[in-house]
Amino acid sequence: MDRSAPAELLDIAVEVARDAAATAYRMRVEGVSVAATKSTVTDVVTAADRAVERQVVDALRRLRPGDAVLGEEYGAGETGPVAPGGVRWIVDPIDGTVNYLYGIPHCAVSLAAEVDGEVVAGVVRNVSTGEEWTATAGGGAWRDGERLRCSTETDLGQALVATGFGYDPGRRAHQARVVAELIPHIRDIRRFGAAALDLCLAAEGRVDAYYEKGLAAWDQAAGALVATEAGLLVAGLGGLPAGPDLVIAAPAALFKPLHDRLADLDASGGP
């Protein structure tokens, strides 16, 4: 079997993510505190974020020597650059760190494998509940053995839409203005606090759609593949790929109306 085949990469991702989630769970039970702050005083890092990412990097080095790794806490500095045709792993050790800090059971380990810039395998595992979403490019999206299909909603006015906010106060203010203008035109908004899980919830229709400005690669790599494989369109504004400016994940019938509304509201603008 090709060592970089999506199914092989997914098997490794699942093995590593399960061990990582177990460590995050154990460390939460033992007690958690803020180890540092990053972009703002509310953008926290716990000892668990660092320990879990270290564990993931060490496991990948052992199982897949030569692959590159990009992580939220240690960046790309832990391994060498990705070789042409090589595999790069993208890891968010704990997506939903603020939920983790407060003991809200809604945070996840997110791990994706990218080949030549395309995410081909990904797993998102809820640290608290053990729910696990997986996907491979072309192989569908799955949760605990069940194939996932996104919402069939066609009316934006009936759509339950998840979103999130960045840590920068100026960005949050802009995002809040966008939400204030959007909410009269949809069923309601949900802000759960973990982007990777938002994308997985959209993949199984537990929300109809999701959008957010400011996501990093580790927030969305695995979740976006799960969402795409469940039938959602995942993209940015004006035909751009999903990225830091905006990620929109919506079923085909909702994508254009949501996209156009977000474009009118300058959802990718602001700081």
Closest residue by beta carbon to ligand IPD = 164
Is the separation of the CB atoms in 69 and 20 below 8 Å? no
The helix (run of H) or strand (run of E) holding residue 163 is strand 160-163
Closest approach of ligand IPD to the CB of residue 115, in Å: 24
Binds ligand IPD (CB under 6 A): choice among 16, 195, 222, 247:
195
Q: Which amino acid is at 87?
A: V
Pick between residue 164 and residue 205 the one whose CB is nearest to ligand IPD: 164
* Out of 123, 194, 203, 235, the residue judged to bind ligand IPD by CB under 6 A: 194
DSSP 105: S
Site string for ligand IPD, 158-187 (x = CB under 6 A): ------xxx---------------------
Residue 139 vs 244, nearer CB to ligand IPD = 244
d(CA 67, CA 115): 10
**CA-closest candidate to residue 234, choices 219, 155, 16, 73:** 219
The answer to whether 127 and 148 are in contact (CB under 8 A) is no
* # of chain residues touching ligand IPD (CB under 6 A): 15
- Return the residue matching tokens 């053990």: 130
| 122 binds ligand IPD, rule: CB under 6 A | no
Q: Which of 214, 223, 236, 251 binds ligand IPD (CB under 6 A)?
A: 214
Pick 194 or 234: Cβ nearer ligand IPD? 194
Residue in this structure with the two tokens 């395309």, named with its chain if needed: 118
Q: Which strands form 87-95's sheet, in the order they lie side by side? A: 68-71, 87-95, 108-115, 118-126, 132-136, 140-143, 146-147
Q: What b/e readout covers 36-54, taking b as 16+ CB neighbours within 10 angstroms? A: eeeeeeeebbbebbbbbbb
Q: How far is the CB of 107 from ligand IPD (least distance, A)?
A: 7
One residue of 53, 73, 92, 204 binding ligand IPD per CB under 6 A = 92
Encoded one letter per residue, x for contact with ligand IPD by CB under 6 A and - for no contact, window 51-90 reads ---------------------x------------------
Mutual angle of helices 169-182 and 252-264, in 10-degree steps: 120
CB of 151 to ligand IPD, least distance (A): 20
Applying CB under 6 A, the span of 93-101, 138-146, 179-187, 201-209 interacting with ligand IPD comes to 93-101
**DSSP state, 79?**
S
Question: What are residue 70's DSSP bridge partners?
Answer: 90
Q: Which is nearer to ligand IPD, 132 or 212 (CB)?
A: 212
Which residues of this protein are in contact with ligand IPD, per CB under 6 A? Answer: 72, 92, 95-97, 164-166, 193-195, 212, 214-215, 219
